[in-house]
Amino acid sequence: MKVERLVSIIMILLDKERIGAQELADMFEVSPRTIYRDIDTINMAGIPVRSTSGVGGGFEIMQKYKIDKKVFSTADLSALLMGLSSLSGMIRGDELVHALAKVKSFIPADRAKDIELKVNQINIDLSPWMGNRNIQPYLEIIKTALQESKLLSFEYIAHHGNRTARTVEPYQLVLKSSHWYLQGYCHKRNDFRLFRLSRMSNLQMQEKTFALRDYQKPTLDFTDILETMQTKIKIRIHKSVMDRVLDFCSYEDFSSDGDEYYIVSFPFIEKEYYYDILLSFGDKCECLEPLHIRAEMKRRIHDIASLYEN
């Protein structure tokens, strides 16, 4: 984790007179380029780290600079503790525990109560209310595979229930919209793919390692693309499902229709996922227009009803 690595680098620089980029890279199992970016981040945080070239060169904190516990503000320490605490609840490991201990060591006694109060103002719990209980152990397996550059194998259930065996080189864990994903190079597709953990089964870490490829992080912001694909449809909903409909649009899209109902301008794409959303509201939602989507909803409802005729 980057935050843990940054804190650790600061501690190492405090402990050592000088250390080289390659030595730090080997220590944290990252590239020297990553270490240079980390040093830039530390400099921007106000800790002057300089580099010297040649034999015996490396990074060092400027000799006249005296770092103390005041280098981190109350807001800085609160943010670090909130982030590390939320991750440690979902991704367990000694390194997160050590990082938490290191950050806490920066807290002066006279600010401890204030920082504890600020940290407790926000509670980030990434664990699901219910559902697939494989997520936690799968996170641990993937995390180890990432650290050791080992292949992963699993069965994956894609769209329409298609089940395939996959062998993947793991590159990144992604938390998006409360769901965990693995970004990796899939040997079956010969390309990078994003896999949702809840759709995996029989996840295994292989003994075989892999050489890192040139890698770009996945595109996770589809706002512009969705805006070109989505259209607004008109639905009439009962107030009892208003809270659920608000997960997909804003309150500005609602207009009252009597005391019990609302007319909603609802974002929609003509795909299975969006029809399933409308159907999930049951008899508390009626599609008013356009007429061809209303007709398709009627057909789907008829098909569902036919399952219960016998």
User: How remote is the C-alpha of 51 from its chain's centroid?
Assistant: 33
Strands 150-157 and 58-61: unpaired
Average pLDDT of span 215-244: 84
Q: Counting every residue, how long is the chain?
A: 310
Kindly calculate the radius of gyration of the chain based on its CA atoms and give it in whole angstroms: 26
- What is the C-alpha separation between 242 and 247, in angstroms, rounded? 9
Instruction: Give the pLDDT confidence score for residue 161 in this predicted structure.
Output: 78
What percent of the chain lies above the pLDDT cut of 70? 78
85: Cβ–Cβ under 8 A, 6 or more apart, which residues? 100, 119, 124
User: 3.40.50, 1.10.10, 2.30.30, 2.60.40: which CATH number matches 135-209?
Assistant: 2.30.30
- What is the C-alpha separation between 170 and 149, in angstroms, rounded? 7
Average pLDDT, the chain: 83
Nearest to 267 by CA among 235, 244, 238: 235
CATH code 1.10.10.10 for 2-119: yes
Q: pLDDT tens-digit profile of 36-75?
A: 888 888 888 777 888 887 777 788 877 665 555 455 666 7
Which sign does the torsion angle of CA 11, 17, 20, 26 carry?
Answer: negative
Q: pLDDT tens-digit profile of 145-202?
A: 998 999 999 999 987 778 999 999 999 988 887 788 999 999 999 999 999 998 999 9
Instruction: Give the pLDDT confidence score for residue 85 in this predicted structure.
Output: 66
Query: Is the predicted pLDDT of residue 121 greater than 60, yes or no?
Result: yes
Instruction: Give the pLDDT confidence score for residue 48 in this predicted structure.
Output: 81
At 98, the pLDDT band (50, 70, 90 cuts) reads low
Instruction: Give the pLDDT confidence score for residue 44 in this predicted structure.
Output: 80
Query: Is the predicted pLDDT of residue 302 greater than 60, yes or no?
Result: yes
59 contacts 21 by C-beta, under 8 angstroms: yes
Instruction: Give the pLDDT confidence score for residue 309 in this predicted structure.
Output: 86
Angle between helix 21-28 and 32-44 (nearest 10): 100
Residue 186's SS3 state is: strand
The model carries a pTM of 0.58
Please state the domain extents for the chain.
2-119, 135-209, 224-306
- What single letter denotes the amino acid at residue 296? E
Query: Is the predicted pLDDT of residue 16 greater than 80, yes or no?
Result: no
76 contacts 42 by C-beta, under 8 angstroms: no
Query: Is the predicted pLDDT of residue 35 greater than 90, yes or no?
Result: no
What DSSP string describes 148-173?
HTEEEEEEEE-GGG-EEEEEEEEEEE
Range from 163-167, 228-232, 299-303 carrying the lowest mean pLDDT: 228-232
Average pLDDT of span 223-234: 82
At 91, the pLDDT band (50, 70, 90 cuts) reads low
Per DSSP, what are the bridge partners of residue 265?
234
Q: In what order do the strands lie in the sheet with 261-268?
A: 254-257, 261-268, 231-238, 285-289
How many helices and strands (H and E) does the chain possess? 11, 11
